[in-house]
């Protein structure tokens, strides 16, 4: 097992707040009237009512600890990706914020082309994204009288009148430049950094990402809030794992940084070893590898399940001996967390983000060593006691993450943005 560095935080302390109960809103409909309780701030007076004063007012008026009502315009364009990392993030975050009482107004660019050609498609979408953030989002922010605009990927709009929050998931295009299209790499380095610098607050999905944002982009620690995801797969959706595992599972696409080539090479070695020891005391039946998502491979013993929905993915988790996650870099590692929550052992390539999220509940391997990964696949597919131990540790670790906690941390970021106002 490879040794991995563990990251210290170095980020600003999280801010504490609560919000009052509101019904969810969709952008384009009439904005609901603001409450008239002690926390209400008419639009004409909002600039003269300090958030701290509003919180003190609420603290004396109720035993519950609440903050001034906040209306967040959330750009949910990337929820159109379905069960992608960003799509899962948006779906769960919006729901969790609404449960906290945050007034969430969702807006999405329905005309954006769906991703399908790797990172090159992001450049094709650049002009559509520019129109959306520069023209349409400002119009909707005014129409909905938003207090904060939240961009789930680094982008900002010309909104001098509304504070903005951006989420940074990772800086893989800077850490692994050779894994990305050159045009996308140049664009992302300039555009994402500029967006983070202009925003009033930055949400980092992990301490690993927060450290990168500070070190590589020069963002001050007091503008960053770490808000980790919850699991994307609900544990109850996965059937009890009361049968022998049927396959090894990979969930994701075939971007170069996902390191799919290493996994395929390791699986070939794994099958070759099974053939070599057939009829001996070391004999075992090799498990097929299932690629779930948009990754493709024509290789013996490999089955492809294209873009499974949540129900299909739950079935795949239920039959998996392990999730194999060979990615060279992740800012968070949502898929390993998803697997741990579902009771599936995880084998992962060693990277700071995965180590931060998974702790000691995962078997880690060198991301460049196919032989080491093949040996680990053999261990996890043949050793029932090891799988049981990893399952127990994984579930304990996954229980430390929740979308409710993530939503509270996002509210900290919204509060920070409002307090900073137009000072980016």
pLDDT surpasses 70 at 159? yes
In this predicted structure, what is the pLDDT of residue 166? 98
Higher pLDDT, 53 or 228: 228
320-325 sheet: strands from edge to edge: 302-306, 289-293, 247-252, 320-325, 346-349, 363-365
Tell me how far CA of residue 202 lies from CA of 95, 143, 416, 417, in angstroms.
Answer: 21, 24, 9, 9
In this predicted structure, what is the pLDDT of residue 114? 61
Mean pLDDT value across residues 138-153: 95
Q: How far apart are CA 248 and CA 259, in angstroms?
A: 16
Max Cα distance, the chain (Å):
82
Name the least confident of 8-12, 138-142, 233-237. 8-12
In this predicted structure, what is the pLDDT of residue 38? 30
Domain ranges in the chain are 63-230+403-420, 235-398
Higher pLDDT, 129 or 247: 247
**CATH superfamily membership of 63-230+403-420:** Glycogen Phosphorylase B; (3.40.50.2000)
Q: Which residues of 337-350 are buried (b: 16+ CB within 10 A; e: fewer)?
A: bbbbbbbbbbbbbb
pLDDT surpasses 60 at 8? no
Tens digits of residue pLDDT in 168-226? 999 999 999 999 989 889 989 999 999 999 999 999 999 999 999 999 999 999 999 99
- Using an 8 Å Cβ cutoff, are 321 and 289 in contact? no
Q: How far apart are CA 42 and CA 251, in angstroms?
A: 48
84: confidence class by pLDDT, cuts 50, 70, 90: confident
Q: Compute, in degrees rounded to 10, the torsion defined by CA atoms 139, 25, 21, 146.
A: 0
- pTM of the entire predicted model: 0.81
Name the least confident of 6-15, 77-86, 322-331. 6-15
pLDDT surpasses 80 at 332? yes
CATH number for region 235-398:
3.40.50.2000
pLDDT surpasses 60 at 68? no
Other C-beta atoms lying within 10 Å of the C-beta of residue 166: 26
In this predicted structure, what is the pLDDT of residue 184? 87
In this predicted structure, what is the pLDDT of residue 244? 81
In this predicted structure, what is the pLDDT of residue 236? 59
Mean pLDDT value across residues 87-96: 92
In this predicted structure, what is the pLDDT of residue 82? 55
Domains 63-230+403-420 and 235-398 in one fold = yes
Tens digits of residue pLDDT in 341-391? 999 999 999 999 999 999 999 999 999 999 999 999 999 999 999 999 999
In this predicted structure, what is the pLDDT of residue 10? 36
Residues facing 302 on adjacent strands = 289
pLDDT surpasses 70 at 340? yes
Average pLDDT across the chain, whole number: 82
């Amino acid at each position: 097992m490879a040794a991995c560095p563990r990251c210290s935080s170095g980020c600003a302390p999280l801010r504490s707040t609560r919000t009052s109960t509101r019904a969810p809103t969709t952008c384009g409909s009439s904005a609901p009237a603001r409450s008239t309780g002690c926390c209400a701030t008419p639009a004409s007076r909002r600039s003269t009512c300090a958030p701290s004063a509003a919180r003190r007012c609420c603290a004396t008026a109720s035993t519950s600890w609440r903050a001034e009502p906040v209306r967040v315009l959330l750009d949910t364009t990337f929820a159109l990706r379905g069960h992608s990392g960003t799509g899962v993030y948006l779906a769960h975050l919006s729901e969790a914020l609404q449960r906290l009482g945050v007034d969430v107004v969702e807006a999405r660019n329905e005309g954006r082309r769906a991703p399908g050609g790797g990172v090159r498609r992001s450049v094709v979408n650049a002009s559509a994204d520019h129109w959306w953030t520069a023209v349409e989002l400002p119009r909707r922010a005014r129409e909905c009288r938003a207090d904060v605009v939240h961009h789930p990927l680094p982008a900002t709009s010309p909104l001098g009148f509304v504070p903005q929050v951006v989420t940074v998931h990772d800086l893989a295009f800077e850490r692994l430049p050779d894994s990305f299209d050159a045009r996308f790499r140049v664009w992302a380095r300039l555009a994402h950094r500029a967006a983070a610098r202009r925003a009033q607050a930055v949400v980092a999905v992990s301490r690993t990402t927060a450290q990168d944002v500070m070190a590589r982009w020069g963002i001050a620690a007091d503008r960053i809030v770490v808000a980790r995801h919850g699991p994307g797969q609900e544990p109850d959706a996965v059937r009890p794992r009361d049968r022998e595992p049927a396959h090894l599972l990979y969930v994701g696409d075939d971007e170069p940084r996902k390191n799919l080539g290493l996994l395929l090479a390791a699986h070939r070695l794994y099958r070759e070893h099974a053939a070599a020891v057939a009829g001996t005391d070391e004999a075992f039946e090799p498990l097929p590898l299932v690629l779930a998502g948009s990754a493709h491979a024509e290789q013996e013993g490999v089955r492809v399940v294209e873009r499974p929905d949540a129900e299909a993915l739950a079935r795949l988790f239920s039959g998996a001996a392990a999730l194999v996650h060979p990615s060279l870099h992740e800012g968070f590692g949502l898929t390993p967390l998803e697997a741990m929550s579902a009771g599936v052992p995880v084998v992962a390539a060693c990277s700071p983000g995965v180590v931060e999220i998974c702790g000691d509940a995962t078997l880690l391997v060198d991301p460049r060593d196919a032989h080491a990964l093949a040996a680990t696949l053999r261990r996890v597919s043949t050793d029932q006691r090891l799988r049981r131990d990893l399952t127990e540790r994984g579930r304990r670790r996954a229980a430390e993450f929740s979308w409710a906690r993530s939503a509270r941390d996002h509210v900290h970021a919204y509060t920070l943005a409002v307090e900073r106002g137009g000072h980016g």
